Structure 1
Amino acid sequence: MAHPTPANGTRLVVSPGQVVLGTGAIEEVGEYADLYGNRALLVATEQIDEIHGDRVREQLSAAGIETVSYTDVRPDPTVENIEAAYDVWQRDECDVIVTLGGGSSIDAGKGVGILATNDGHIRDFGVDRAGYEGVPNPTPPLIAVNTTAGTGSEATRSVVVSDESTDTKFLIVSKNVVPDVAVEDPELTRSLPQSHTAFTGIDALTHAIEAYVSVKSYGVPQDFARGAIRRIGRWLPVAWANGDDIEARTEMMIGQLQAGQAFTNSSVALVHGMARPLGAQLHLPHGLANAILLPYVMEFSAMAAPEEYAEIARLLEAAEPGDTDREAADRASEAVHQLCADVGLTSYLDDYGEIPSREEYLDVVGKMAQDAIDSGSPDNNPRKPTREELEELFVTVYDNALAPDSPRRA
């Protein structure tokens, strides 16, 4: 059930200034960059730059835009990534930011923009220090060329940054970091391997589900979330099974965009609160950490929001016609477990994580639980966990999904 806007209050609905969607959208990046400046800082990972970078630079050059590239972004960008990219921005006197990639490149570009127009170190703008809407000034023009489906970062006011000095991740949230233009070309996602199709797809589903059930949700983001849940449930297995299916890639790109619009106008909740410390400790990509946690948090939370979780089950076509809301709600987590199994989610842990022994994991469970609480995200969950419940959830996830001999991995 949506939480209505108070009669005497307002809500700010944010979204990218413009969205360019469809096959061939990348051909328009120069045209849009030309609206904003003359010298672009192109921010990407080395791998994505090798695949798509020349094409973007050609489009920028054809529009008369000089391009300087920063291609050392790592998955889950670090404080050092953002500072180094900002040094390039300053040195070469750039005036427009173009990001190429998924959430990592987009977040790095947002971080550069924050430093370009605001005083301070990037860590100063984390919500734990500056609060929400803690970035005073808008970033320079930012064009996000998306290559995943995905984080939805091109639609959001969020930035997730890894602080390697403390093995933690911190969150920045401000309307002043929302990109001016989102370029959504599904052809670019055809280069995604199955692994990234799987965990970025479940990441997008996580965004939609959390936005839908959050205590901060209301009609607008819930409508975005419904569309995203329905699309992702239908098309993720197809895109995973056949990465060249352009219809599936297009539907997934739309679904992840809707999911980004949903959670940035609602909030994330317990999954994200737990995923940041889990990802930081086990060096898991953000999407994979979210995906591992999602069904367990859904199972934990369904009792507190049966109507919402029942609707999720129905959107995923997992409910039976005669189910009560509580019965359908319990099927929602089962449907997500099945979807994760369909796309081989846990099979990617060997290549994309560093799974410790159970004893080593238990040593950091207390810290992860505290980091989750400190993030504030669990407060948005329909069922608010105690510290002990958080610790139990972390242990359940290890025993059922992370351990080499766990049921989900077996």
Structure 2
Amino acid sequence: MSVPHLTTALTGPLLDLERKILAAQPEIEHWFRNQWQEHTPPFYGSVDLRNAGYKLAPVDMNLFPGGFNNLNPEFHPLAVQATMIALEGYCPDARRVLLIPENHTRNTFYLQNVAELAKILRQAGLVVRLGSMNPEITESTTLDLPDGGQLTLEPIVRMGKRVGIAGFDPCVVLLNNDLSAGIPAILQDIEQTLLPPLNAGWAVRRKTQHFTAYDKVVEKFAALVDIDPWVINPYFEHVDGLDFHSRAGEDKLAATVDTMIEKIRIKYEQHGINQVPFVIVKANAGTYGMGIMSVKSGEELLGLNRKQRNKMSVIKEGMEVHDVIVQEGVPTFEQINAAVAEPVVYMLDRFVIGGFYRVHTGRGIDENLNAPGAHFVPLAFASPLSTPDCDGSPDCEANRFYSYGVVARLALLAGSLELE
């Protein structure tokens, strides 16, 4: 089982980087096998990639991926197989799984994702029930889904050192809830296998920790493939002590942005890149595209109006933002039907199981696409084979996707270092 062939939005000559990755395919796969003997991959994950032509880099890694409903149904067998392999590693005799989704029950697209995830688990031979931590769910509650299906949520109960549902005692508890609001008491010190672990949630995890781990992974990988680490790694800095309402820390943030813009400009000169550098400032924890700005100079952060400050100061679950990651902006030159697109690659255990394009008609190549108005286009199989086409022309779609799968797995490996 290996990386599925996908179509990408890109056509045209393969980049120097992609050619190098393809040429080193046997070494790369051998290297990954060794890494996975030393490190346990997260149960699942999704990685947002940006392909700028001169650079292919992850800009975010989610350890509680939603969006399984956006994957191409043809990937389903891969996902089922990967689930079986993952559970053999964690809990060989697993039979019953409690899947805990996010608390928001009104987002039907999210619920469709939960249904898809439950289906994958069931087809891997498990009994699956959905346990909710939402205080409003006090009894078995059935919700209708956009595709005509239904989902039944039941309240979670704690029994000694175990959690479950009345009459259902699971061996494995799988979180599809990123714990933005904090670690709930009901999940602390349980004896069951809990995936991902509590320290993977945004109550504990920070994006800067992830990219620090990613730096280490890339250093080794770049030496293996003989590339400049920068072509797969965005610069980043951590800025804390911020308060967007009272403007505390604003000067420090602006200075950090200017220093990074200068650093990127020097790299662009070295590589002969004719682009205007930009950076993304985003909350150091959390998801859903909240608390994000794209800026081309520190000055843009000094005069934020109230609306912009409000937007930056609060993320999911109303959590206040006091520290941010300042990340090198990677423009995307991928487009679908003239709209800007970025690939999101999904993994289960150590396997790529598919992905989709996040497409936004109202955003530019240097903007965050994870925003209201985005839609999703599944990445399709380009061919039924499951390895890169080493005899095909370098820019055949399968080969182009191979490098996406490699960079996504590097981010996944960084995720496993973080969790350790």
Q: Per the shorter chain, which TM-score range? A: under 0.3
The structure whose Rg is larger is 2
TM-score for the superposition, normalised by structure 2? 0.23
Higher RCO (C-alpha under 8 Å, 6+ residues apart): 2
Q: Report the structure, 1 or 2, having the larger helix content.
A: 1
TM-score for the superposition, normalised by structure 1? 0.24
